[in-house]
Each structure stands twice: as C-alpha cells, then as structure tokens.
Amino acid sequence: MNAATLIRLTSLSLIVSLGLLSPTYAEGKKVSNPISQAKPKPIDTNQPNTLTPTGTSNNLLSIEGGDRLMKESTEAVSSQNYALAVKKLQEARQVYNQLSSFYQDLNSSFAGIDIRAADTYRKNALTTAQKRDEATYQLALVHRAQNQPELAIPLLVQIIKSQNPTRELGTKAYQQLFELGFVDVPFPRQGKK
C-alpha cells in the first residue's frame, strides 16, 4: 500500500467518524437533556392510561407558539410599533415554516405505514403552511405601511407561488402587487370566471 492510498483511507475514516457523531458532540459542546429539565405533568386520575402531549402551549415551536407571535404582531401594528411587528411576523413565519416542513417529513415517514398518522401530519403541514403564508402577507402589508415596496414585493410573490393566484390569499397578494404597480394585468379579470 502506498502513502497516497494510506492518507486517503485515513482521511476517509476520519470523515466517516466525524459524520457519525452528533453535530453537538462534533462541536465539542455538552448536550443537556431537555426532558430531564421539564416539569412532570400530573397524572389524570380519571384516565390514568391516556397519554397527552406535554408542553405544547408554552413551546415556541408549536402552532400555539406561532399564533402567540401573530397576536403580538397585531398588537404591535395597533400601537404603530412597526419594527416590533416586523420582528414578530418574521419569527412567526419561521416557526410556521419549520412546523410545516417537520409535518411534511412526518407525513412522508408514515405514508404507507399508518394512514391515519400520515393524514394527520399532512393536514398539519397544510395548516401551518397556510398560517405561514398569512404571516407573510401581514409582513408584506407592514412593509407597505413603511413605504418599503422592495421588501413587500418578494413576499407577495412567494405567497402567490405557494397559494396559487386563484386562492383567496393568492388573489389578495396579487392585488397588492397590482396596487404597487409591479404588475399591470388585473386579476381576476372583470367579466371572467
């Protein structure tokens, strides 16, 4: 075996070893166990054999967490604190987008194995994608209120791509593009269905 082959094999084994390590261990960080830090949930004595999810209402990475951010953004807009509204809407978009992606992954994983679970995750993916697009639309409106069409236009185009121009939110996004002068063809056209 020559030196070049030996170096290649050594390098390959090192790369494989690092690839098998968890990313947190590869970075040399200590991993804490979030489960051990969670407070135990009292057992329902009426239904001791029924398990329920824990911690979803306080968790930011949940539909409730995204909804909470949307509510905070609405309050910020009401008080004309547009900087805070933008921050909360961007966070809500990120939460909903991650949730939609995770639910799509779960749907794919359960497809052909458990139809009920796959269908539930598919519906959750659609719900969170819709909420993401609604947050995106609100963010575009805030940018319009701040006279920043260069920030609103890409968001409105994303909505149309995600929703389709024939759906309600897609039509509203297209109308915003028309009002901004970015597009010059009205849609839906008058007299056509």
In angstroms, the Cα distances linking 86 to 136, 139, 140, 168, 179 are 10, 6, 9, 23, 21
Element (H, E) at 18: helix 3-20
Q: How far apart are CA 67 and CA 95, in angstroms?
A: 10
pLDDT at 2: 55
The pTM score is 0.69
Report mean pLDDT in 10-residue bins for the chain, 193 residues: 48 40 40 41 51 56 94 96 96 96 96 94 96 97 96 97 94 95 85 56
Angle between helices 82-110 and 115-145 (to 10 degrees): 160
| Core vs surface per residue 94-124: b (16+ CB within 10 A) or e | bbbbebbeebbebbeebeeeeeeebeebbeb
* Distance between CA atoms of residues 143 and 69, nearest Å: 17
Whether 143 and 82 have beta carbons less than 8 Å apart is answered as no
